[in-house]
Chain A
Amino acid sequence: MCDVLDIKLNTIPDWNCCAASIGYAEGGELPRLALSARNMALSEQASPGQDIVATCAACWLATRETKERLNADEELMKETNEALAAGGLSVKADQNVRHMAEVLIEDFGFDELGKHVKKPLDGIKIAGYVGCQTNRPFGIDGESFENPKYLDKLVETMGAEPIENYDKKVSCCGGALAFSEPEKSQALIKDIIEAAYDGGADMIVTPCPVCQLNVEAYQNDINAKYKTKFNMPVVYYSTLMSVAYGKDRKQSGLDGQIITPKQLEEIAK
């Protein structure tokens, strides 16, 4: 997808994991913020003035939150730099921290994104599942928290058909609690899939890798528990775009699916 659109991403040298939303318990405030601050510090060194772009909702959220907290609170900025100094780094937190979806929508726009479509995804009905953290608390500029439209527009731009009134669009999949509270999370996931079937969807598309994994991977367990027959493919938006842009199965990441989206496989062949 990035090579079609000529987006060049530089990896942050020696990046570390941001601890997502589960870092709070052991990490507390400053050590947790220090994780993201270290990434920002390394990025400022290697690519000054460039935007930081995250493809994962949780990484984006953690990094952007850290940036905003540091800019709003002098003391926190001072303490964070004190911690970073122990590892020979310092941070200004002056780069923009953006989600890949923002880059696509704001810097390219739907018209431009549509120009590169080589194989329109005709006749595929798709439930656009935005989930939580891509949407809240920051969200994509100009979109509402309760009913953001950009994912449906993206689906349409790729030639597929977004299902209407998908009422689990911004519901939570349980996030990290899928591991620690499997039953409770699976009840949430069940509703998300059920609503997609109710709307006549052939597959679900999502901008969040955590949602993608949670909603795709537990369908067997859910079927066993609730006597359902779910077999709903769940794809990441870049997979959808890559197929529409004429990439093959592997380049699109279709070989990474647990539940095969047959229609996409057909098109990518």
Chain B
Amino acid sequence: MATDAINYYRNNFLKEVEANVEEGHWVKMCMQCGVCAGSCPLGNAWEHTPQKIFMMIRAGKRDEVLASDAMWMCTSCYNCIARCPRELPITHIMHGLANYAHRLGLAPKNQPTRKFAILFWNNLTKKGRVNELKLGIALYFMNGLVNGIKVAIKAMPLGMSMMKTKRLSPMEILGGHGIKDTSGFHAILKKAREIEDAKMTKFD
């Protein structure tokens, strides 16, 4: 009975995270020791460290958490996972939160890593492999045309030297590079998406 009462009073956002976010059921295990916060390579750029995010989830700060750009600053270095005394899969929870916020349309609109991740996914899922040159061009234009040209000019020497060393093949732009069974590949991804969407619990 006592546990029922506790469950009842546990706020809804924690339940939502547990139900809908990858590895979200781990959040309640965090003991707020701060080790992860001190381990993040871009730690000084984060508004909310993983420790803070987990605390905010427990405090029910739904809007603040989902709109935070903190999750998007994760470089996937796995430092936190290696060190967390409670063995939380922190990296995956941060990725899961980012994905969840993105799917609800609540992620920060101009977050550059979000944009990059979308370009990358779209580029890759089209043909099963990443076409670096197309991705590169899309990237230059990610921030709109004017800014895109500025970024493109700045990044030129790199693109050129990569071209020279044959790491970017100009043939790629003609679409030489992809898997054979694209229809099977697309069917798999579509089905996976359907299964995942069907599992989503509604919380508003």
Q: Return chain B residues, CB-CB under 8 Å to A16.
A: 124, 128-129, 179, 185
| Cβ contact within 8 Å between A132 and B78 | yes
* CB of B116 to closest CB in A, whole Å: 4
| Cβ contact within 8 Å between A17 and B161 | no
For B162-188 the 0/1 string (1 means CB < 8 A from A) is: 100111000000000001110111011
For B90-107 the 0/1 string (1 means CB < 8 A from A) is: 010001101100110000
Instruction: Verify if B56 is at the interface (C-beta below 8 Å from A).
Output: no
Among A21, A25, A172, A257, the residue within 8 A (CB) of B118 is A25
Contact status of A17 and B124, CB under 8 A, knowing A29-B96, A136-B77, A175-B77: yes
* CB of B45 to closest CB in A, whole Å: 5
Q: What's the interface size class on A, roughly? A: 35 or more
User: Using a CB-CB cutoff of 8 Å, which residues 9-51 of chain A contact chain B?
Assistant: 14-17, 19, 21-31, 33-35, 38
Instruction: Verify if B7 is at the interface (C-beta below 8 Å from A).
Output: no
Q: How far is the CA of A217 from the CA of B88 in the complex (A)?
A: 34
| Cβ contact within 8 Å between B190 and A133 | no
| Cβ contact within 8 Å between A26 and B121 | yes
Instruction: Verify if B11 is at the interface (C-beta below 8 Å from A).
Output: no
For A234-260 the 0/1 string (1 means CB < 8 A from B) is: 000000000000000000000111100
Instruction: Verify if A4 is at the interface (C-beta below 8 Å from B).
Output: no
User: Using a CB-CB cutoff of 8 Å, which residues 53-91 of chain B contact chain A?
Assistant: 72-73, 75-79, 81-83, 91
Among B79, B120, B166, B192, the residue within 8 A (CB) of A30 is B192
For A93-136 the 0/1 string (1 means CB < 8 A from B) is: 00000000000000000000000000000000000000011011
Instruction: Verify if B189 is at the interface (C-beta below 8 Å from A).
Output: yes
Contact status of A30 and B129, CB under 8 A, knowing A23-B120, A132-B78, A172-B79: no
| Cβ contact within 8 Å between B195 and A180 | no
Among B76, B83, B129, B187, the residue within 8 A (CB) of A87 is B187
| Cβ contact within 8 Å between A25 and B75 | no
The interface centre, meaning the residue of A35, A174, A256 with most chain B CB atoms within 10 A of its CB, is A35
| Cβ contact within 8 Å between B157 and A220 | yes
Instruction: Verify if A137 is at the interface (C-beta below 8 Å from B).
Output: yes
User: Using a CB-CB cutoff of 8 Å, which residues 35-93 of chain A contact chain B?
Assistant: 35, 38, 79-80, 82-89
Among A82, A135, A213, the residue within 8 A (CB) of B191 is A82
Instruction: Verify if B148 is at the interface (C-beta below 8 Å from A).
Output: no
Instruction: Verify if B28 is at the interface (C-beta below 8 Å from A).
Output: no
* CB of A131 to closest CB in B, whole Å: 8
| Cβ contact within 8 Å between A25 and B102 | yes
The A/B interface has a contact count, at CB < 8 Å, of: 180
The interface centre, meaning the residue of B45, B99, B129 with most chain A CB atoms within 10 A of its CB, is B99
- Count how many chain B residues have C-beta atoms less than 8 Å from C-beta atoms of the other chain: 59
* CB of A25 to closest CB in B, whole Å: 3
Q: Return chain B residues, CB-CB under 8 Å to A221.
A: 154, 158
Q: Return chain B residues, CB-CB under 8 Å to A23.
A: 117, 120-121, 124
Q: Return chain B residues, CB-CB under 8 Å to A28.
A: 22, 99, 103, 193, 196
| Cβ contact within 8 Å between A133 and B76 | yes
Instruction: Verify if A188 is at the interface (C-beta below 8 Å from B).
Output: yes
Instruction: Verify if A5 is at the interface (C-beta below 8 Å from B).
Output: no
* CB of A23 to closest CB in B, whole Å: 6
Contact status of A19 and B120, CB under 8 A, knowing A136-B77, A137-B82, A217-B158: yes
User: Using a CB-CB cutoff of 8 Å, which residues 6-46 of chain B contact chain A?
Assistant: 22, 41-42, 45
Q: How far is the CA of A256 from the CA of B91 in the complex (A)?
A: 33
| Cβ contact within 8 Å between B195 and A256 | no
Q: How far is the CA of A16 from the CA of B188 in the complex (A)?
A: 12
Instruction: Verify if B115 is at the interface (C-beta below 8 Å from A).
Output: yes
| Cβ contact within 8 Å between B196 and A24 | no
| Cβ contact within 8 Å between B187 and A86 | yes
| Cβ contact within 8 Å between A26 and B81 | no
Q: Return chain B residues, CB-CB under 8 Å to A135.
A: 78
Q: How far is the CA of A27 from the CA of B181 in the complex (A)?
A: 20
Instruction: Verify if A262 is at the interface (C-beta below 8 Å from B).
Output: no
Q: Return chain B residues, CB-CB under 8 Å to A258.
A: 161-162, 165
Q: How far is the CA of A89 from the CA of B161 in the complex (A)?
A: 40
Identify the A interface with B (CB < 8 A): 14-17, 19, 21-31, 33-35, 38, 79-80, 82-89, 132-133, 135-137, 145, 171-172, 174-177, 179-181, 184-185, 188, 213, 217-218, 220-221, 255-258
